[in-house]
Amino acid sequence: MKIYFKIILISFAMLFSASLKAQHKIGLVIHGGAGNISRENLGPEAEKAYRHKLQEALQAGWNILENGGSSIDAVTEAIQILEESPLFNAGRGAVLTHDGKNELDASVMNGRTGQAGAVAGVSTIKSPILAAKAVMENSPHVMLSGRGVEQFAKEQGLEIVDSSYFFDKRRLEQLKKFRKTEEDRKKEEGSLQYIPGNPLLLNPDQKFGTVGAVALDKDGNLAAGTSTGGMLNKQFGRIGDSPVIGAGTYANNATCAVSATGHGEFFIRNVVAYDISALMEYRNLSVKEASYEVIMTKLQKKGGEGGVIAMDRNGNIAMPFNTTGMFRGFIQKNNEPQVSVFP
Ligand code: ASP
C-alpha cells in the first residue's frame, strides 16, 4: 500500500513540475525608434498609423511565441513587419545617405547560445534582419558587409530586390531639407566641423526610426534583434550601432536581451546594450535599474540621445528613453498588445 502511495505522489510531483515548465512566462517587446516626437509634430493620423503597425508586429511575434516558437523567430517576424512598413527607418522607407542611397544594417543575437549575426551597408536584400539571422545560423562569421553579404544572401535563397524598393519620396524631401541647412551653415560659418556627437548628423526632425525587438520564449530563451537605415545624410559607408553586437543589440539568457535606438556613435562608444547586461551580471541590478542607469544617467551625461527596450529571463521589461518619445510596445501573457509613443 505504502509503495502505491509513493508512486502516486511521485507521479503528481512529475506532472506538477512538467506543467510548471510548460508555463514558462513568454514575452515580447518592440520599438520603432526614439526621438524628438511630440503629439503636435506627429499628428493624430500618423500616431494612429504607427500604433496600428506596432500592434500588428507585436501580434505576429506573439503568435509565434504562443505556438511554442523560438524567441529568435518571434523577434525576426516582428522586425520583418516593421521593415516592410515605410513608417519606420528600416527596410522600405529607410533614411537616405548623403548620396541619396539606402544602406541598411541589422543584427540578431541568441541569448541561449550566445551566437550572433549582423549585416552592414546592404542595399538589395529585402529583409536585412533575415540576412542577419542567416549569418548567425549558416555562416562561421558574425558580421558581413557590402557586396559580400549580398552574395551570401543570394546563396541562402533570401529575397533580393532592386535598391529602389527601399526608396520613399518623403525621405528624399527630408534629405534635401537637411542638405540645404548644411549648405546654409557652410556659407555662414565657412566650413563645417564634424566632431563626435555633432548634431549636424541628426535628421531635421530628430527622429530615429530604427526598429527592434526582444523576446522570451517558452523554453526561457531570450533573443534580441535590431534593423535600421542608419542616420540621415550618413557618409563614407558609415555604420551605426544597430549591427554592432554589444552596442545596439545584445542577448544573454543569464541577464537580459536589449535592442537600442538613438544616435549610434554614442551607443557604440558606450557599448550600451552590453553595459546593461554587465550591470545586471556584476552589480546584480534589475533589468529596470540597469537600463535606466545606462540610458538616463550614463548616456545622457555624455549627450547621447536615444533609448532601449530590454527584458530579463523572468519576462520583466524596461523601455527607458531620454528623448521626448519612443515608439514602443509589449505583449505578455493574457494581455492585449500595449503600445505607446510618449512618456
Ligand atoms: N541607432 C541608429 C544608428 O545610429 C539610428 C536609429 O536608432 O534610428 O544608425
Greater confidence, 62 or 6? Answer: 62
- If you measure from the C-alpha of residue 241 to the centroid of ligand 1, how many angstroms do you get, rounded to a whole number? 7
Q: What is the mean pLDDT of residues 158-162?
A: 98
| Structure confidence by residue, pLDDT tens digits, 77-127 | 999 999 999 999 999 999 999 999 999 999 999 999 999 999 999 999 999
Q: Give kind and range of the element (H or E) at residue 55.
A: helix 44-66
Please, what is the angle between helix 128-138 and helix 71-84, to 10°?
Answer: 150
The closest-lying atom of ligand 1 relative to the alpha carbon of residue 95 is: 8
- If you measure from the C-alpha of residue 246 to the centroid of ligand 1, how many angstroms do you get, rounded to a whole number? 14
Is the CB of residue 32 below 6 angstroms from any atom belonging to ligand 1? no
Most informative mutation of 88, 96, 210 for ligand 1 (most atoms within 8 A of CB): 210
Closest CA to 120 of 249, 227, 246: 227
Four-residue CA torsion sign, 217, 154, 132, 325:
negative
Q: What is the mean pLDDT of residues 131-150?
A: 96
Are 210 and 261 in contact by the 8 Å Cβ rule? The answer is yes
Closest residue by CA, ligand 1 atom 4 = 264
The whole-number pLDDT of residue 335 equals: 75
| Structure confidence by residue, pLDDT tens digits, 247-304 | 999 999 999 999 999 999 999 999 999 999 999 999 999 999 999 999 999 999 999 9
Identify the active-site residue in 97, 124, 210, 228. 210
Most informative mutation of 88, 119, 242 for ligand 1 (most atoms within 8 A of CB): 242
Closest residue by CA, ligand 1 atom 9 = 230
| Structure confidence by residue, pLDDT tens digits, 29-48 | 999 999 988 888 899 999 99
The whole-number pLDDT of residue 41 equals: 86
Cα dist from 11 to 96, 270, 316, whole Å: 62, 52, 32
The closest-lying atom of ligand 1 relative to the alpha carbon of residue 229 is: 9
- If you measure from the C-alpha of residue 228 to the centroid of ligand 1, how many angstroms do you get, rounded to a whole number? 6
The whole-number pLDDT of residue 20 equals: 47
Greater confidence, 132 or 42? Answer: 132
| Structure confidence by residue, pLDDT tens digits, 142-155 | 999 988 999 999 99
What's the pTM value of the predicted model, to 2 decimals? Answer: 0.91
Distance of CA 224 to the CA centre of its chain: 7
CA 211, CA 226: separation in Å to the nearest integer?
6
Is the CB of residue 241 below 6 angstroms from any atom belonging to ligand 1? yes
78 contacts: CB under 8 Å, gap ≥ 6 = 28, 30, 57, 58, 60, 61, 213, 215
Average pLDDT, the chain: 91
| Structure confidence by residue, pLDDT tens digits, 175-227 | 998 888 878 877 877 765 555 555 445 555 567 789 999 999 999 999 999 99
Distance of CA 13 to the CA centre of its chain: 41
Can 210 be counted among the known catalytic residues?
A: yes
Most informative mutation of 202, 233, 261, 321 for ligand 1 (most atoms within 8 A of CB): 261
- If you measure from the C-alpha of residue 233 to the centroid of ligand 1, how many angstroms do you get, rounded to a whole number? 12
Closest CA to 210 of 82, 55, 311: 82
Is the CB of residue 243 below 6 angstroms from any atom belonging to ligand 1? no
Closest residue by CA, ligand 1 atom 8 = 208
Residue 45 one-letter amino acid: E
The answer to which of 32-46, 151-165, 317-331 has the lowest mean pLDDT is 32-46
Q: What is the mean pLDDT of residues 153-169?
A: 97
- If you measure from the C-alpha of residue 322 to the centroid of ligand 1, how many angstroms do you get, rounded to a whole number? 14
Cα dist from 17 to 69, 124, 259, whole Å: 21, 48, 33
Is the CB of residue 261 below 6 angstroms from any atom belonging to ligand 1? yes
Greater confidence, 9 or 208? Answer: 208
CA 303, CA 124: separation in Å to the nearest integer?
34
